[in-house]
Amino acid sequence: MHSYDYVVVGAGSAGCVVAARLSQDPETRVLLVEAGTPDGPASMAVPPAWPSLIGSSADWGFVTVPQPGTAQVVHPYPRGKVFGGSSSINAMAFLRGHRAGYDAWAAGGATGWGYDDLLPYFKRSERAAGRDPRHRGTDGPMPVAPPRNGHPLAYVYLEAAAEAGHPTSPDLNGEHQEGVAWLETNIVDGRRFSVADGYLRPALTRPNLTVISSALVHRVVVRGGRCTGIEYSVNGDPRSARAEREVILSAGSIGSAQLLMLSGIGPAAHLREHGLGVLADLPGVGANLQDHPLAGITYSATRPVPPTANQHSDLIAMVRTRPGLASPDLQLIFLDIMYHPPTLIGPEHGYTIGFSLMRPHSRGSVRLAGADPAAAPLIDPGFLRDERDVETMVTGLRMAREVGETEALAGWRGKEELPGAAVQDDAELAAYVRSVTGPYFHPVGTCRIGDDPLGVVDTELRVHGIDGLRVVDASVMPSIVAANPNATVIAIAERAAALITA
């Protein structure tokens, strides 16, 4: 058995950050294990090709359980299985979301995780040239910028959004966190720039950092109430590693919850159902799963929509669905492609205005399908389980339709194909929303910060009741942020590395 100071599980967005930061100290021995391979398909580097990565060799290939809220559909639920994790297969969006979401964490008991607490770590992570240094980082590992050459339809969308009454934000990641803006992404010279590119690959030459790929972690090892290492296998060959200081789970909202339960840490009754001993009865493990439900209106186009060199949504908007809300609760996604379920028939040429609820009330879970570490877990995001989410999504549809029907888009617009202009009353629109809604692939919350009975980690991300074990990834979020979460995951990992080394 090899021994290290720290063992990090998962080379995704969080794990790349943690391993790179901890190994900056040449006296600290760090092991990073990843189930995937160092590189994925060649299309992984091509920004507009991201939809083709769903189901590829770089994806775990998960699916949800049937979702009653979306007509019992079983949805694909991709998660990255490659260096960089989901940052290597996602749509490369880099958004923080409104500060109110983070301040709600702190107000709810996650002391030290408010927006102002995280701001130094957001700034530390990014390299945002030309932005306001009061709010943005200028020399971090992750280059981030709006598109150099926006899609021609995006410029028309910008006019349409203004016509519909939406203000323009010069920087959604800066002082003005509401309105329509050019989407900042991690694209450099026309190629994807993953967290592995920013953090891990520059650190691979360090002699104190060991990285093992194609490594399936079976469980963490706990002796006398302390986590002492992990058991894993590489191509079926069983191995183990000892952690002298800590094991850090960075396997994501699906993987970290699954690993805790496989290790006997989680809801006692559920663990016993699968013949697992109970080391710590933590009912919050695997609970509180949240994702942003995503739907859209699809229009036929009067002419073929040109291909893009970007990631299909150069323009984005953060808006409020009703007056009196403290912060935006809806994202409008202005797409230069048609994006709808394959069960619905769209036009030959067209485009979609997407809408996604940023603060869903619905909650789901991750549960074990069995005690075999290779078995895919049961993923239930609970999409549209809460009727309030359906109502807000219908409002989002109406707001997307307002933009879609503007005079600015008249030169591109053929007609509304999905759901169709004849679909007008709330009941019909709700039925359409249920038929078209799918995942935004933003799972969070399954190992959340909290000292209540459903909390899994404390404010320093240490697992309750087990010494020497932390969780550092999207699963620790008490509630989902009002944005694509990758930028937040990186900031969480930056702060966690600072806590660990303090």
Sorting pLDDT into bands at 50, 70 and 90, what band is 243?
A: very high
Q: Residue range 89-105: average pLDDT?
A: 97
Ramachandran bin of 85, using left for φ above 0, alpha for ψ from -120 to 50, beta for the remaining angles: left
How far apart, in whole angstroms, are the C-alpha atoms of residue 274 and residue 81?
Answer: 26
- 1-40+55-63+74-143+190-289+443-502 against 148-182+293-357+384-436: fold identical: no
Percent of the chain with pLDDT over 90: 98
For residue 210, is pLDDT > 80? yes
Per-residue model confidence (pLDDT) at position 446: 98
Q: Residue range 152-170: average pLDDT?
A: 98
For residue 204, is pLDDT > 90? yes
**1-40+55-63+74-143+190-289+443-502, CATH topology level:** FAD/NAD(P)-binding domain (3.50.50)
Distances in Å between the Cα of 457 and the Cα atoms of 265, 281, 368, 478 are 12, 13, 20, 10
pTM above 0.95, yes or no: yes
Q: Is the distance from CB of 431 to CB of 418 less than 8 angstroms?
A: no
The residue assigned the tokens 């620790």 is 476
Per-residue model confidence (pLDDT) at position 37: 98
How far apart, in whole angstroms, are the C-alpha atoms of residue 329 and residue 321?
Answer: 7
For residue 1, is pLDDT > 80? no
Q: 288: closest CA among 110, 410, 412? A: 110
The residue assigned the tokens 């710590």 is 280
Per-residue model confidence (pLDDT) at position 492: 98
Per-residue model confidence (pLDDT) at position 383: 98
Both structure tokens of 384 = 């549209």
Q: Which helix (H) or strand (E) holds 397?
A: helix 387-404
Q: How many CB atoms lie within 10 A of CB 305?
A: 18
Phi/psi for 425 (5° steps) reads -80, 165
- DSSP, res 55: T
HEC profile of 230-247: EEEEECCEEEEEEEEEEE
Catalytic positions are 442
Percent of the chain with pLDDT over 70: 100
Q: Which residues contribute to the annotated binding site for FAD?
A: 82, 217
Dump pLDDT digits (tens) for 307-352: 999 999 999 999 999 999 999 999 999 999 999 988 888 999 999 9
How far apart, in whole angstroms, are the C-alpha atoms of residue 33 and residue 228?
Answer: 15
Both structure tokens of 239 = 């191995």
Q: Which residues contribute to the annotated binding site?
A: 82, 217, 440
Distances in Å between the Cα of 247 and the Cα atoms of 15, 187, 231, 242, 463 are 11, 32, 12, 9, 11
Per-residue model confidence (pLDDT) at position 160: 98
Per-residue model confidence (pLDDT) at position 447: 99
307 strand-pairing partners: none
Hey, CA dihedral for 459, 461, 465, 467, is it positive or negative?
Answer: negative
How far apart, in whole angstroms, are the C-alpha atoms of residue 358 and residue 481?
Answer: 7
In sequence order, which residues have a C-beta less than 8 Å from that of residue 420 and are 6 or more positions away? none
Q: 177: closest CA among 321, 324, 328, 329? A: 328
Q: Is the distance from CB of 231 to CB of 221 less than 8 angstroms?
A: yes
Ramachandran bin of 377, using left for φ above 0, alpha for ψ from -120 to 50, beta for the remaining angles: beta
Number of H helices, E strands in the chain: 10, 22
For residue 491, is pLDDT > 80? yes
Domain 148-182+293-357+384-436 has CATH 1.10.287.130: no
Per-residue model confidence (pLDDT) at position 343: 85
How far apart, in whole angstroms, are the C-alpha atoms of residue 54 and residue 59?
Answer: 6
Q: Strands, DSSP E only, in 10-123?
A: 30-33
Q: How many CB atoms lie within 10 A of CB 118?
A: 21
Per-residue model confidence (pLDDT) at position 342: 85
- Provide the mean pLDDT of the chain: 97
SS3 assignment, position 138: coil
Residue 332, judged by CB atoms within 10 A of its CB (0-12, 13-18, 19+), counts as buried
Sorting pLDDT into bands at 50, 70 and 90, what band is 57?
A: very high
Dump pLDDT digits (tens) for 100-140: 999 999 999 999 999 999 999 999 999 999 999 999 999 99
In sequence order, which residues have a C-beta less than 8 Å from that of residue 71 and are 6 or more positions away? 434, 435
Domain ranges for the chain: 1-40+55-63+74-143+190-289+443-502, 148-182+293-357+384-436
How far apart, in whole angstroms, are the C-alpha atoms of residue 460 and residue 250?
Answer: 14
The DSSP string of 295-356 is EEEEEEESSPPPP-SS-S--EEEEE-SSTT-SS--EEEEE-SS----TTS---SSEEEEEEE
Per-residue model confidence (pLDDT) at position 255: 98
